[in-house]
DNA sequence: CTCGGTGCAAACTGTTTGCAGTAAA
DNA sequence: TTTACTGCAAACAGTTTGCACCGAG
């Protein structure tokens, strides 16, 4: 892998990613970053997001609807997908470290890690539901 | 939802899906189904796969690389994604039904269900690894 | 000077859709 | 006859890539 060179664009993307608790799509990142960097191109955003994912500075997560989202929190954690608004939130729950071992008992190959996605309704949307 | 009408194409797709233990992509389904139904179009395959997913006769699963796969096994179960060959296999392990409750403790909104994807190496690929 | 990064636009991939014709009910 | 389903091709969305220029080291 070639040595990285500093770039103002990448820095802005990292800052934005670290500042938000949402899990923005590439497009959302583009829209926000463009506020402070109007001439940035979507291609550059994609290139840098993938770069950050490769170097482990960000996480690339895919939702069941096929959407790709980025997450600056790289320590293992689970996610909740809201089936109303489609938002993805972090779940403040300790990952089950014995899960891999359990799975290994039932599997011929090698288990390395796992990811869990919960489906549900975020607090915002469930509030709106109850007011109807 | 409109009432379904019988279609030979849909039947062939269902048969193929039920016959395989792999989790084929739409394209793989298309390739196989075309053997017995040469004039079927890719659009029809997509329409029917989505239809089956909607009626609950098949499961639509997305892998972290963004690929979409279909699974005729609709009872809850976990999956293993092989990071070598990219195949997706069923894991013969009882789903953890307390997981949703655990997650609910840590979450403001509503948790309904969850899915788990294990990352690892399938038995086929791990065999090939050890012979090098 | 060298080589990684950028903006832009074109290309590409996987999927959906509009249409006119076909076939199940 | 009615209306869902089909094949086809065009359209579409999200993402990647080739290129000429820019800028960090």
What share of chain A has pLDDT > 70, as a percent? 98
Beta strands (DSSP E) in chain A are 59-62, 68-71, 78-82, 88-91, 110-121
pLDDT in tens, A30-41: 999 999 999 999
Q: Which of B80, B94, B111 to mutate to test the interface with A (most CBs of A within 10 A)?
A: B80
pLDDT at position B119, please? 93
Closest partner residue to B112 among A61, A111, A119, by Cβ?
A119
The CATH number linked to B117 is 3.30.1490.190
Check whether residue B11 and residue B65 sit in a common domain. yes
Co-location of A84 and A54 in the same domain = no
Q: Which of A25, A42, A74 is the endpoint of a domain?
A: A74
pLDDT band at A131 (very low <50, low <70, confident <90, very high): confident
B89 to each of B33, B109, B111, B112, how far by Cα in Å? 21, 31, 26, 24
User: The domain that contains B15 carries what CATH number?
Assistant: 1.10.10.10
Chain A contact for B21 (CB, 8 A cutoff): no
Domains: count for chain B: 2
Instruction: List, in sequence order, every residue forming a beta bridge with B126; answer none if it has no partner.
Output: none
pLDDT reading at B95 higher than 80:
yes
**Pairwise CA distance, residues A55 & A114, whole Å:** 20
Q: Which residues of A touch B125 (CB under 8 A)?
A: 109
Closest C-alpha to A71, from A97, A91, A43, A90: A90
Does B107 lie in the same domain as B93?
yes
Query: What residues in B contact A93, CB-CB < 8 Å?
Result: 102-103, 105-107
Nucleotide of closest approach to A48 (CA, C1'): C5
**Statement to judge: residues B11 and B63 lie in one domain:** yes
Instruction: With cut-offs at 50, 70 and 90, classify the pLDDT of residue B107.
Output: very high
Q: Would you say how long chain B is, in residues?
A: 132
- Polymer length in residues for chain A: 132
Please check whether residues B1 and B41 belong to one and the same domain.
Answer: yes
pLDDT of B17 reads 96
Give the tens place of pLDDT for each residue, B14-59.
999 999 998 999 999 999 999 999 999 999 999 999 999 999 999 9
The reply to whether A51 and A90 lie within a common domain is: no
- B85 at A interface, C-beta within 8 A: no
Q: Give the pLDDT confidence of A17-58 residue by residue, as tens digits.
A: 999 998 999 999 999 999 999 999 999 999 999 999 999 999
Contact A82, B109 (CB under 8 A): yes
Confidence of residue B115 (pLDDT cuts 50, 70, 90): very high
Taking an 8 Å cut-off on Cβ atoms, the answer to whether B64 and A106 are in contact is: no
| Enclosing domain of residue A53 | 1-74
Q: Can you tell me the mean pLDDT for A101-124?
A: 95
Under the banding of pLDDT at 50, 70 and 90, the label for residue B99 is very high
Strand D contact at CB of residue B41, distance < 7 A: yes
What is the pLDDT, as a whole number, of residue B130? 77
């Amino acid at each position: 892998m070639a040595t990285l060179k500093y770039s103002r664009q990448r820095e802005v993307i990292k800052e934005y990613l670290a500042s938000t608790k949402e899990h923005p799509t590439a497009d959302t990142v583009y829209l926000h970053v463009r506020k402070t960097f109007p001439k940035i191109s979507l291609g550059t955003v994609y290139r840098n997001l993938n770069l950050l994912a490769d170097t482990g500075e960000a996480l690339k997560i895919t939702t069941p609807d096929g959407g790709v989202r980025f997450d600056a929190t790289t320590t293992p954690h689970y996610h909740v997908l809201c089936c109303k608004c489609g938002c993805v939130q972090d779940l403040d729950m300790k990952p089950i470290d014995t899960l891999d071992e359990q799975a290994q008992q039932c599997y011929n190959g090698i288990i390395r890690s796992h990811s869990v996605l919960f489906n549900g309704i975020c607090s915002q949307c469930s509030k709106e539901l109850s007011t109807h």
